[in-house]
Structure formats: structure tokens, C-alpha cells
Amino acid sequence: MKVALLIEYDGSDFAGWQIQENARTVQGEMEKAFRQLYSAEIAVHGAGRTDTGVHARGMVAHVELPDESPMTLFKLVVAINSTTPHDIVIRDLRPVQKDFHARHSALARQYRYSIKRERTALDRNYVWAIRRDLDRSAVERVTALLLGEHDFTSFSKRSNDVEHYRCIVEEALWDFDGTNLAMTIRANRFVRGMVRALVGAIIQVGQGILSEEQFELLLHRPEDIARAKYMAPAHGLVLEGVSYPDRFGLWKIHEPLQFSK
């Protein structure tokens, strides 16, 4: 039986999603939990790879469970959550068709990056605290340039397993609330480090460190200019959710959960 999982995790103490030797990862902890429950190796396939320190509220993964599994999905959620560490929570499980794949079936991913324009103690692991003033209009102008299809080579880390750096951005906007601000961005795909590099460059524009013209060159002429030089810290970034074709019957981003029984 193939099952999709909706996963929330605090990335503070993880070396990212993907299994690595001699490092604590979300995928590694998940597979350890399934191994304890089923006394078998069960691969956990995620919708993507979050970097070291990045959090998730709506990561989606899938697993193939033994057909003779005695537990209902609701009981399996309880069982997994009693086995995984405190910084991982399975929010829901749903059965899916055999052709479902958490990564390949995804239509879009949505991230949110949070910033506070003052020092903070309680939120220090989840927001980027900056002190300099920002030009809000400049921030919004360059963010609007991201909509549509672009080559994000300049806003990425080099990777040997990426065929191209073109992504289609469906939404990119900032919310401002007093000293708090956050960027929400949704795209069909993201290349490694893309959101953090974009946020870093946008904030540099807002602070007058990077001109709007320089930002446009990074976006529109990646072959003529070096990669963005500054990446926002990982701890301000959260994977909010992943969207799929309706036929799979999976979660919508931010929808209230109706738990499987």
C-alpha cells in the first residue's frame, strides 16, 4: 500500500532532509521510525530536499507499506509520532494511487521566509533579525520581477545533478506587519539555495547595498554576472506546502486537516 505523509519539522538540529553519512537528517529519522515499526527497511521519498537548518510545515513524502499492515492510518500516525523525535511530527497520512510520487507528481512548492526588524530572543531560531531600515517600495518592485519563467542560475548553489536552473514562479509577495515581514513564494520547482539567495539579494536592494539594476542583471543575464553573493540565513525559511493534481486527493496548502481514520 502506497501512503502519502504530511510532515512538519523543526530543521534547527538537522543537516537537511536527505540522508547523509554521519549526520542527522529528517529522512534518516523517518526511515529509522518505520524500521522500528515494521522491522523492515522502508524508503521515505520526499517532495524535495531542504537544506541544513530549514524548517517545514508541509513537506510531503511517500512510502510503500507492507500490504498486511495491521494498523489503520489514524493509528499509524499515532504510532509514528510516538517513534519519531520531538522535532518531527506527522500531521496526516493518506493512501495514494500507485503512480503517485512525492517529488515527480508535484505541481508546485511554496516557501515562506520570515524577517524581524529588531533583535529577538524567542523567535531567534525562526526569523532573520535585521536592524537596518528597508525601502519597502524597492523590495516590492524587484520581487514583482520574479513572476513568470526565469533562469535562476545567479540565485542558486552549483549542483552537478541539476539539468537546468529555469523555474516558473507563480507567486512572490511580501507581507508587512510592524517590525515583521515575510516573503511567500510559490514555483513549479526550486533549485538549491534559490529562496535564500533571492531573499538575501532583495533585502540588499531594500538596504541600498545592491541596486535594482544589479538585481535585474542577476535575474535576466545570469550568464554575464556572478551568482548572488549573499544568502539569507537558513533558519528563517519554512517549506509551507506542496501541491498536487486533484486526482490524488491530497492536502491543499494551509487547509484545515481532516484526519484519516
- In this structure, are 95 and 166 located in the same domain? no
Q: What is the pLDDT of residue 177?
A: 96
- In this structure, are 115 and 232 located in the same domain? yes
Question: 62-98: per-residue pLDDT in tens?
Answer: 999 987 766 788 899 999 999 999 999 999 999 999 9
- In this structure, are 219 and 129 located in the same domain? yes
CA 124 to chain centre: 19
Q: What is the pLDDT of residue 73?
A: 84
- In this structure, are 116 and 190 located in the same domain? yes
Q: Which residues are known catalytic residues? A: 51
SS3 at position 76: helix
Q: What is the pLDDT of residue 102?
A: 98
Q: Give the separation between CA 112 and CA 186, rounded to whole angstroms.
A: 9
- In this structure, are 92 and 183 located in the same domain? no
- Asked if residue 200 belongs to a domain, the reply is yes
- In this structure, are 227 and 138 located in the same domain? yes
Work out how many domains the chain is built from and give that number. 2
8 Å CB contact between 254 and 241: yes
The better pLDDT of the pair 189, 70 is held by 189
CA 184 to chain centre: 11
Q: What is the pLDDT of residue 233?
A: 96
CATH number of the domain to which 167 belongs: 3.30.70.660
DSSP for 146-173 reads TSEEEE-GGGS---TT-S--EEEEEEEE
- Asked if residue 147 belongs to a domain, the reply is yes
Q: Give the separation between CA 32 and CA 84, rounded to whole angstroms.
A: 8
Alpha helices in the chain (DSSP H): 26-38, 73-81, 136-144, 194-206, 212-220
Residue type, 168: I
Q: Give the separation between CA 178 and CA 130, rounded to whole angstroms.
A: 14
pLDDT average, residue stretch 220-236: 82
- Asked if residue 93 belongs to a domain, the reply is yes
Number of CB atoms found within 10 A of residue 156's CB: 22
Share of the chain above pLDDT 70, in %: 94
Confidence of residue 226 (pLDDT cuts 50, 70, 90): low
Question: 232-253: per-residue pLDDT in tens?
Answer: 999 999 999 999 999 999 999 8
Q: Give the residue numbers spanning the domain of 145.
A: 108-239
